[in-house]
Structure 1
Amino acid sequence: MLWRPCGEHAALLDCDSLAQMSAARATVEAAGIEGITELVPGARSLLVVAEPGSRTLALVRDLLADADLTHPPAGSPREVTLDVSYDGEDLQLVARDAGISVAEVITLHTEAEYTVAFTGFAPGFGYLTGLPEALQQPRLESPRTKVPAGSVGIGGEFTGVYPRESPGGWRLLGHTDETLFDPAAERPVLFVPGDRVRFRSA
């Protein structure tokens, strides 16, 4: 791991892997260190923003230097279940490339438990880890210019849900009617890093 300064009151931790980043995030959150104003995970990085004039960044560095990141704290993650209609445009393609039936694709996708590793791309879009290896497939060669809101897709090692209509290159398995991003709501986003997610065939 490597720390890099980001302005006067933040530091970016470059991690060796997604798993290491997730463990670092969980360790910092569990410690409850005062003075952290923002904690932003990425695929291989963790941004820590601290209150001006505090020793927070030094405390976080010391914490992670001594932490066993191979056994991060489990915590008490929030659990989210989404009902999905498995009628996506790429369902047949995913089944064909995986060498299994459409029914098996749905079974694999719904039996797995996922974790929100980080968010990005669009407000409310969570990158969920835990996708079965048989369903890990590349993105489309030609991204779509419009993917409907609520579309459930897979891309590489991740699965996720498009919170609003946008361009996108993930393979689409189906859709959900759940609202993932509402800027007017008390809790604007459905997913935050660390949440556990399951999909249920509607």
Structure 2
Amino acid sequence: MISTGDEVEIRPAGDRALLLLPGRSDLLAGMLATVRSAGVPGVADLLPAAETLLITLDENVDQRSVARDLRALLTDLATWVPAPDDEAGEVVIPVRYDGVDLDDVAGMLGLGVPGLIAAHTGRVWRCRFVGFTAGFGYLECDEPWPAVPRRAQSRTAVPAGSVGLADRYSAVYPRRAPGGWQLIGTTDVAMWDLGRPQSALLAPGTRVRFVEATSP
């Protein structure tokens, strides 16, 4: 393990990757923007997760040399580049708030259904990372949002387009898949489409606004 000041740890991840841990999840976006903008030689790809940043290296690159460059780049928090607000654009997703868990979640949070809908549509969400299945973006909002517990038992099949809440995240299932998120609505927006130049609708940094749609 290679430490970087008090904030970031750099760990080897196999022969061609490094795993960066910023120490605090709220520093991850700034760390990602700093590494991306610096153009560190030998860095091939960046993959953010909830609390880490995986850096894939070019072939035949000295791993320790890249780690030293990253350590020098990230030592001083004051020099980190803030994540740009428009880095990956904005997506508007119309939602029919007809999810099977809507009433339960509204009661759990003490908001009532209208209050939950207003809270969900009244915030700007941002894709923190993509995982679980292709096109599944974990969305987090800058404003305080209560942690919603996952279901005690996961469903074997959640339909594509289901809008869910879990922990402090919201997400849209891009395809039919098992899952334990609390389902509050549905959307017709395709989160994953191989016919598009970029198959995934969301990428890390994408801003998302949910709007209430009228049921057909």
Same fold per superposition (TM over 0.5): yes
Larger radius of gyration, structure 1 or 2? 2
Structure 1 counterpart of 2:24, one-letter code: S
Question: Which residue does 1:130 correspond to in 2?
Answer: 141
Is the partner of 1:68 in helix, strand or coil?
helix
Contact 2:74 2:80 in 1 (8 A): no
- From 140, 154, 169, the equivalent of 1:158 is 169
1:21 paired with 2:28, answer yes
Query: 1:36 aligned to 2:47?
Result: no
Where 1:107 maps in the other structure, the secondary structure is: helix
Alignment deviations for residues 120-154 of structure 1 (CA, whole Å, 9 cap, x no partner): 11110011111764543100111111111011100
Correspondent of 2:131 among 109, 120, 129: 120
The amino acid of 1:62's aligned partner reads A
Q: Do the aligned residues in 2 keep the contact of 1:109 with 1:199 (CA within 8 Å)?
A: yes
* Runs of 4+ with >6 A deviation: none
Tell me, yes or no, if structure 1 residue 51 matches structure 2 residue 58. yes
2: distance between equivalents of 1:106 and 1:120? 25
What SS does the corresponding residue of 1:185 show, helix, strand or coil?
Answer: coil
Identity among equivalent positions (%) equals 38
Question: Residues 50-69 of structure 1: matches in 2 within 5 Å?
Answer: 50-54=57-61, 56-68=66-78
| Count of matched residue positions in the alignment of Structure 1 and Structure 2 | 202
Match of 2:18 among 11, 16, 28: 11
Alpha-carbon offset, residue 26 of structure 1: 1.9
Q: CA RMSD in A?
A: 2.1
AA of the residue aligned to 1:8: D
- In 2, are the aligned partners of 1:140 and 1:169 still within 8 Å (CA)? yes
Sort the Cα spacing of 1:69 and 1:82 in 2 relative to 1 into closer, same or farther, 3 A.
farther
Distance 1:76 1:59, change over 3 A: farther
What's the TM-score once normalised by structure 1's chain length?
0.90
Aligned to 2:207: 196
Unaligned 5+ runs, structure 2: 1-7
**1:181–1:73 Cα change, 3 Å:** closer
